[in-house]
Structure 1
Amino acid sequence: MSEKLAPGKRHAFMHNGQKVFEWDQTLEEVNMYIELPKGVPTKLFRCTIQAGHMEHNLAHPVKTDSSFWTIEDGEMHITLQKREKGKTWSSPIQGQGLLDPYAADQEQKRLMLQRFQENPGFDFSQAQFSGTCPDPRTFMGGIRSD
């Protein structure tokens, strides 16, 4: 089941026919992937992550203490920990590479299903969703598990 809920593919942001970055998301994080220029030493690259900024304004605030970046196999991988768990991002960078309406809807549905799977004892694996993602605590009619 978890494979079905994992990001199916990376979304690509293209500019003038060139890939700027790719990204995907889970309920808790947004991952960006940036292919680095060949022949440039990796020690020359760095990334500073701030709550709402990372060279450009982020689409939403992040937790800086649990966000990080690495370089592996010629690719910079940036993991941004969402401040609002479960919030669907249309892009990691404000105003750049926004998902088209269909892709945004599919992403919303995938994250909604992932969120409901966090409630043990309920099987939402065959559920069909439309609309916005409700808060499961409200949706469940105030049922508490504590």
Structure 2
Amino acid sequence: MAEKLAPEKRHSFLHAGQKVFEWDQTLEEVNIYITLPENVPKKLFYCNVLPNHLEVGIKGNPPYLNHDLAGPVKIDCSFWTLEDGIMHVTLQKREKGKTWPSPILGQGQLDPYSADLEQKRLMLQRFQEENPGFDFSQAQFTGGCPDPRTFMGGIRSE
């Protein structure tokens, strides 16, 4: 059931027409995927996650990413791994359910349509989490979507 409400695709963060990274999110996490250069030894890559900032790079060089995050994270629950030429950074949201328009504050934000779809998907995840045993994967919203963090009402049938 939960896999039906998982991110359907990754969003791309582009700068000057080139992909910097891909990302997706759940109620609790923002995941960043960075394709690594093949000719650099893996032990030279680093990632530093701070409560409101992310730094990624190759030791001895200026950071590849050195930006404030779109929201605060729990650093003790955030981590990074290297696998198959991809750095995967998992950022644990401090505000569960908050929809991030982009991992990087003020850059590469989702267009309004994609942001609305993302918020609706997270709202459905929240419904699913709060009502185990019910299948919300085919549910649809009509009108505006409430904030997934603050929705406290039940679901009504019409």
Cross-structure match for 1:12:
12
Structure 1 residue 38: Cα displacement = 1.5
Displacement of 1:81 in angstroms is 0.2
SS in 2 for 1:43: helix
Alpha-carbon shift at residue 49 of structure 1 (Å)? 0.3
CA contact (8 A) 1:113 1:124 kept: no
Higher strand share: 2
Query: Taking every aligned residue pair, what percent have the same amino acid on both sides?
Result: 67
| Post-superposition offset of 1:120 | 2.6
The one-letter code sitting in structure 1 at the alignment partner of 2:140 is Q
Does residue 108 (structure 1) correspond to residue 119 (structure 2)? The answer is yes
Residue 85 of structure 1 corresponds to 96
Give the one of 49, 61, 64 matched to 2:72: 61
Q: Secondary structure of the residue that 2:24 maps to in structure 1?
A: strand
Give TM-score, length-normalised by structure 1: 0.88
Q: Scaled by the length of structure 2, what TM-score is found?
A: 0.82
Residue of 140, 151, 158 corresponding to 1:128:
140
1:28 aligns with 2:28: yes
- Counterparts of 2:35 and 2:103 in 1: how far apart (Å)? 16
Unmatched 5+ stretches in structure 1:
141-146
Instruction: Quote the Cα distance in structure 2 between the aligned partners of 1:121 and 1:111.
Output: 15
What is the total number of aligned residue pairs between the two structures?
A: 140
TM superposition shift of 1:43 = 1.0
Deviations 1:2-47, CA, capped at 9 Å, x for gaps? 2221000000011122100000000000000001112111111101
Q: Secondary structure at the match of 1:99?
A: coil
Unaligned stretches of 5+ residues in structure 2 = 55-65
Q: CA deviation at 1:119?
A: 2.0
